[in-house]
Amino acid sequence: MVGLVSRGASKTALNKTLSSSYPEFDDFEQALLATKPDAVCISTYPDTHESYAIKSFEAGAHVFIEKPVADTVLGAQQVIDAASRCRKKLVVGYILRYHPSWEKFISISRTLGTPLVMRMNLNQQSHGYMWNVHRNLMDSLSPIVDCGVHYIDVMCQMTDAKPIRVSAIGARLTTDIPETNYNYGQLQLHFDDGSVGWYEAGWGPMVSQTAFFVKDVFGPRGSVSIVPQEAVKDGVSDSVEAHTKTESIRVHHADIDENNEFLKADEWIRLEDEPNHQDLCNREQLFFQKAIIEDLDLTK
């Protein structure tokens, strides 16, 4: 570790948490010049992602960046182009790619036939500290952009097909965010294999906790669903730790007999010893390291 950068006091707090004395910087460009890092981790608000990433590549560093890559499609493409031009690795913080339970969920979904229907949401009744976090995020993007990137990535892995059409709805339920933004949204995706999916996300103290955690897929051969218990209790919808809890997976088989009765009972896969959020972050960084050292192809 060659340095910590933030415009506020979080860098000092992190040094204290780590019981370390890493050099601290208030200015990102100064930090790049002073430390000449091999790699940069960008965990800032999305409106800075594009500029910080491009500057890092041009300074000769590989980049791990929290999602989304940028706050516009054009900005994201410019980041990707910079990584290619500078011949550096770009890894995005799609944390569910490193979660064994989600890997299982995706694997089972691929056995259900085509097309798939994919239903997912994560509504958060945010309050206290998390409402401050969400309001800051909504200065530059909406909930379906911030969270939806995870689940669109999952849908693309499930179908291995290309999205060909997207539509969305949204509503602004608070005056605490810019007039141009909204704190509730739902998007619908159509894929070139006939699969469809929707994702819904809302943030704020007004958001309902009813059915706030839906992760469900069905195809011609049956369905698979994530069925958590602890993670859907009242008061935890805005808990970052709860968002990656899976706990159990339910698999339903569509096979029927001559009387249209099911041939198989539903299967329950109990998921023990799941990694916590920090464990998943560690796995992300190990993959980032591997991508650099082994020169992995990250184009897919």
Cα–Cα nearest to 127, from 184, 205, 202: 205
- Of 266, 226, 224, the C-alpha closest to 248 is 226
Fold of 37-95+279-293: Rossmann fold (3.40.50)
Fold that domain 100-273 belongs to in CATH? Dihydrodipicolinate Reductase; domain 2 (3.30.360)
Lookup result for tokens 């800032």: 44
Q: Please give the structure tokens belonging to residue 52.
A: 């910080």
Which residues, at least 6 apart from 51, have a Cβ–Cβ distance to it below 8 Å?
none
> 177 with 98: CB under 8 angstroms?
no
> Under a CB-based contact definition with an 8 Å cutoff, are residues 26 and 7 in contact?
yes
8 Å CB contact between 34 and 43: no
Counting residues of the chain whose pLDDT is more than 90, the rounded percentage is 81
194-240 pLDDT, tens digit each:
999 999 999 999 999 888 889 999 999 999 999 887 655 565 565 66
Q: In what order do the strands lie in the sheet with 267-270?
A: 163-171, 184-191, 196-202, 117-121, 215-219, 222-226, 248-253, 267-270
Taking 80 as the threshold, does the pLDDT of residue 131 lie above it?
Answer: yes
Give phi and psi for 153, each to the nearest 5. -60, -40
**184 strand-pairing partners:** 171, 202
Q: What is the per-residue pLDDT across 8-50, written as a single tens digit (0 to 9) for each?
A: 999 999 999 999 999 999 999 999 999 999 999 999 988 899 9
| CA pair distance 129, 273, nearest whole angstrom | 29
Mean local confidence (pLDDT), 146-161: 93
Check residue 237 and give its pLDDT: 60
> What was the pLDDT predicted at 71?
85
Q: Are strands 24-25 and 4-5 parallel, antiparallel or unpaired?
A: parallel
Confidence band (pLDDT; 50, 70, 90) for 106? very high
Domains 37-95+279-293 and 100-273 share a fold: no
Domain boundaries, the chain: 37-95+279-293, 100-273
